Amino acid sequence: MTQTLLLTDALFLQHDPGPEHPECPARLARILSLLDSQPIPGTERRAPRPATDEELAAVHSPRLLEALKGLRGKSTSLDPDTALSPDSYDAAVLAAGASVQAVEEVMAGRARNAFALVRPPGHHAEPEQAMGFCLLNNAAIAAEAARRLGAQRVLIFDWDVHHGNGTQAAFWKRRDVLYMSAHQFPYYPGTGAPTEIGEGEGLGYTVNCGVPGGSGDADYGALCERLFLPVARAWRPDLVIISAGFDAHREDPIGGMVVTERGFAAMCTAFQQLAREFCGGRLVLLLEGGYSLEGLSRSVHACVEVMAGRREEHFVEGVSRDVADALRRSREALQPHWPVLGQ
């Protein structure tokens, strides 16, 4: 068994939204350069496969898929944030395939855990709309693959500084995929309020906690220990997927948070332990945002170290008043559906 599988490809570097765009090829290039210069024992790097039409259609509408496919080989913009170059469509399909392959390898026991180091990111892409730097929703496509492979309860934890509106939309009315998000709020894209907890069969299976800018390691630790981990333990997932954006890093030029690479490693440790406790260690990370080249690369490296066996022992203690208030609002909204939050 491979301890930690890293899935990536040179095609991801060919997706180029244009000069000065923060979601630039240098993001992934810097990650891979650091992994090359400071290799981590227990990791194996492989090239992924593209997603199939059926895998994409499990999340996205025929209209969106046809529209995106029609942009293959072209340079264009879908909105002020989301631009494509000639290789962008193929890169997005390969990113979705890498995310599915990460799930397949972990679910089959061929890898203990996996990190899909991909571009473009995915968590803003809704079933009917590409947006926010994202074309296809890698996390949602991966979760659907896990369900087809027999996972009854899939957990997606999204720690990107932006709320994953697309992933939330994909599972809003479902209870087989539990979506949890820690994010800056209010902030782009404007979703992720504590009262957004799902609908119908999915009521209670969307868990949001938005916190103000300036939140750091201790604050994120409190979110995990007082909200996300208790709910996740009560749910007992069969697979843990992390939408791993690193734009909450203190050096990030877009986000307003002050999380360090050790804070990300602590969250990764906590959710790896959760996976070991309930689902044989089945853990998949998917790269989302992160726009400080140094902060991003160091944070990814720290999380890969955790996945390969290093343990970040403790969260930093302490929580700001504003974060405590945000936690209270989220817990109150969800307590009727998760009695563990009343304990």
> DSSP labels for 61-122?
-HHHHHHHHTTTT--EESSSS-EE-TTHHHHHHHHHHHHHHHHHHHHTTSEEEEEE--SS--
In the predicted model, residues of the chain with pLDDT beneath 50 are none
- pLDDT attached to residue 238: 98
DSSP 176: S
pLDDT in tens, 14-25: 999 999 999 999
Cα 38 to Cα 33, 111, 304: the distances in Å are 8, 21, 11
Instruction: Answer for the pair 217, 315: CB distance below 8 angstroms, yes or no.
Output: yes
- pLDDT attached to residue 2: 86
- pLDDT attached to residue 181: 99
| Distance, CA of 224 to CA of 242 (rounded, Å) | 13
- Catalytic site positions: 124
- pLDDT attached to residue 317: 78
For 285, list phi and psi in degrees, rounded to 5. Answer: -110, 140
Among 234, 179, 237, smallest CA distance to 209 is for 179
Instruction: Answer for the pair 119, 27: CB distance below 8 angstroms, yes or no.
Output: yes
- pLDDT attached to residue 132: 98
Strands across the sheet containing 2-7:
43-46, 2-7, 111-116, 283-287, 239-244, 154-158, 177-184, 206-211
Among 97, 99, 21, 79, smallest CA distance to 288 is for 99
- pLDDT attached to residue 169: 98
For 95, list phi and psi in degrees, rounded to 5. Answer: -65, -45
